[in-house]
Amino acid sequence: MSIASDIQAYSPGQLLDLYVVDFTTTNLDNPPDPLHLYPGIKENFGDIVFGTETYTPWPMEITGFKKSSEGPLPRPSMKVSNVTGFMSNQMLAYNDFIGAKVSRYRTFARYLDGQPAADFGAKKVEIYFVEQKKTENKAVVELLLVSAIDIMNVTLPSRKMYANTCMWAYKSEDCSWPGTDSGLYFDSNDTPVVNQADDTCGKRLSSCKNRFCSFNGTDFDDPNAKLPYGAFPALGRTG
């Protein structure tokens, strides 16, 4: 039985919302381990395990998930208790969670690890990203989320997200191209040129490959080639 049909069943059991906050999507140089949380109070609820990961109960309120066939995509609000000051410390250490991926898993208690019907695949998954911190005080931290689809139209702090326009300045520290090999000069159309003065990056993925794949001896069509390309080809957005 699927999670969708379970929800529609007469007595589906206890429905749970589990949240994973993943920092690998941020601009942090050393992202911490993900947070695994679910709404609850430690004194009343214990840790639960789902897909081998342990989720800790935490007082929180998440609203705004309702979807409509018309109008904008949902932008949920995530309010998390800050009574102990833990969340403020996390905000300070990790840039207010900006850009972090928030995965919402909807499942039933009977699918948790240790249950006879344990099944990590029995869940509904929704993906959001932290757009901004709205409120922070001694009682609560409130984060505004944006959907994974809508993220293509969002500008996160420090950089914009484009599919095929590299945002790095040519030969900068982020770009890391030395530009001293006379055999690897190209103009903005990726056409080889002789003079270094005519060497200009076209900002395309092919521009990056022309230089780094040739320099490193990597196949131009190798999908696993490591490139310092400052864009996001998977977005399908041009700039």
Tell whether 66 and 7 lie within a shared domain.
Answer: yes
What letter would DSSP give residue 192?
A: B
One-letter amino acid of 202: G
Final residue of a structural domain among 102, 137, 152: 152
Q: What is the mean pLDDT of residues 118-139?
A: 91
Q: Which residues contact 201 (CB under 8 A, 6 or more apart)?
A: 166, 170, 175, 177, 186, 188, 207, 208
Task: Render pLDDT for 131-150 as a digit per residue (tens, 0 to 9).
Answer: 899 999 999 999 999 887 66
Residue range of the domain that includes 140 = 3-152
Tell whether 27 and 105 lie within a shared domain.
Answer: yes
pLDDT the model gives residue 170: 83
Tell whether 109 and 201 lie within a shared domain.
Answer: no
Task: Render pLDDT for 167-185 as a digit per residue (tens, 0 to 9).
Answer: 788 887 778 787 777 778 8
Least confident segment among 65-69, 109-113, 211-215, 227-231: 65-69
Q: What is the mean pLDDT of residues 4-17?
A: 60
Q: Pick from 27-36, 71-80, 156-165 the range whose average pLDDT is largest.
A: 27-36
Long-range contacts of range 114-119, CB-CB < 8 Å, 24 or more positions apart? 114/49
pLDDT the model gives residue 178: 77
DSSP H/E element including 8: helix 3-8
Tell whether 142 and 184 lie within a shared domain.
Answer: no
31, 41 in Cβ contact below 8 A?
no
Token pair 């003079």 in the structure block, residue: 195
Tell whether 40 and 144 lie within a shared domain.
Answer: yes
Tell whether 163 and 72 lie within a shared domain.
Answer: no
Task: Render pLDDT for 40-96 as a digit per residue (tens, 0 to 9).
Answer: 876 667 899 999 999 999 999 998 876 655 556 678 899 999 999 999 999 999 999
Count the domains in the chain.
Answer: 2
What letter would DSSP give residue 226?
A: -
DSSP H/E element including 19: strand 15-22
